[in-house]
Copies of this chain bind each other. A is one copy, B any other.
Amino acid sequence: MKENKVIRLKDDIKLSNPILLVGLPGVGHVGKLVVEHLIEELDAEKIIEIYSPHFPPQVLVNEDSTVKLVNNEIFACKANDIDILILTGDHQSASTEGHYELGDLYLDLAEELGVSRIYTLGGFPTGQLTHTDEVIGAANNPVLVEEMGQYGIEFKENEPGGGIVGASGLLLGLSQFRKLDAMCLMGFTSGYLVDPKSAQFLLGVLSKILDIEIDVTPLEERAKEMEKIAAQLAEMEQQQQGQQQFLPDTVSNDEDLRYIG
C-alpha cells in the first residue's frame, strides 16, 4: 500500500450542509472520547474508511478475535435536524509529511460531502492532576471567534502558547486555503491520563453550540473511575517529591507518569 486508500461504504449519502466533528487520539484522548460518545448516543453510521501507509503498521484485535487494520473513519448522523459528520480513528499520522497529506485528504472528503463548518476537538495539557472545567478555543477566522464567545469558551491571546500540534490544529490551518470555517475546542486536562471528565465538560459546551441534548451518564461513570486513579497518582507524586529531597533526580519518575496517558 503506497497510497492512502479511501473506502466509501455507501453510495447515496444525502446531507444538508453537514458540520464535521473531528476527534482523533491526542492529549488525554479528550477529543476521541467526545466523538466516540456521540457516535454511540446518536447512533451514527460509518460511511467512509481511510487507510494509510502513514499510520503505524498495526492491527487491533476485536472482541471476536478478528483483526482490524488501524484506520480513520467518518460517521454520519442527525441531531436536532442538523446533519453531523464525525471523523475519528485509531491513530494520527506517524510522520510529519503524512500529517499534511492526510489533512488535505480529510478536507477533500469534507468538501465532497458539502461540509459547512469543522469543529476539531482535543485536550489542552495543564500539567496539573487537579481538574478544571474549562474549554479553550481557536478558530481560522475572527467572525467564528466572536460567534463562539457566548458559549463559555475561553479565548486567550496567543494561547495555547505552543500552538496546536497535530490534526486538530493542522485542519484549521489547511482549511484556510479553502475558505472553510473551522474551529478547535480543547478541554483542559492534565496531559498524563485519559480524561473522560474533561471530555464530559467539552461535550457539554459542544451540545450548547449545536443546540442538541446528549446523555452524558456513561462518560460521567468513566470520569469517576479516572478521578480515583488521578487522586492516587497525585498522592504518589507528592510522596515521591518528598523522597527526592534525599535522592538524586532521575529520569524515571516523570516518564512513568507519562506512559499512563
Are A100 and B53 in touch, CB under 8 angstroms? yes
**Complex contact A58–B101 (CB within 8 A):** no
Taking CB atoms and an 8 Å cut-off, the chain A residues in 41-67 that contact chain B are: 53-67
A70 in the interface, Cβ–Cβ < 8 Å? yes
**Which residues of A from 115 to 174 have beta carbons under 8 Å from B?**
137-142, 145, 155-161, 163-167, 169-170, 172-174
Q: Is A16 an interface residue (CB 8 A)?
A: no
Contact of A59 with B172 in the complex, beta carbons under 8 Å:
yes
Q: Would B173 and A59 count as touching, CB distance under 8 A?
A: yes
Q: Which residues from B are CB-within-8-Å of A68?
A: 173
The residue among A69, A104, A166, A249 with the most chain B CB atoms within 10 A of its own CB is A69
Inter-subunit contact A145/B64 (CB<8 Å): yes
Is there an interface contact between B248 and A248, defined as CB atoms closer than 8 Å?
Answer: yes
At the interface, yes or no: A95 with Cβ under 8 Å from chain B? Answer: yes
Say how many copies of this protein the assembly contains. Answer: 4
Judged by a CB distance under 8 angstroms, whether A103 is at the interface is yes
A54 interface neighbour in B97, B104, B160, B250, Cβ under 8 Å: B97
Contact A169 B59 (CB under 8 A): yes
Once A2-B100, A57-B170, A67-B164 are accepted as A-B contacts, the answer to whether A248 and B247 lie under 8 Å apart by CB is yes
Known: A96-B56, A250-B251. A170 touches B69 (CB 8 A): yes
Q: Is A245 an interface residue (CB 8 A)?
A: no
Q: A62-B158, A158-B61 are in contact. Are A67 and B100 (CB under 8 A)?
A: no
A70 to chain B, nearest CB (A): 7
B59 touches A163 (CB 8 A): yes
Q: Are A56 and B165 in contact (CB under 8 A)?
A: yes
Q: CB within 8 Å of B: which of A99-116?
A: 99-101, 103-104
Flag if B252 contacts A251 (CB, 8 Å).
yes
8 further contact pairs, Cβ within 8 A, besides A57-B167, A248-B250: A2-B101, A59-B173, A62-B158, A63-B157, A65-B155, A69-B176, A249-B253, A251-B252
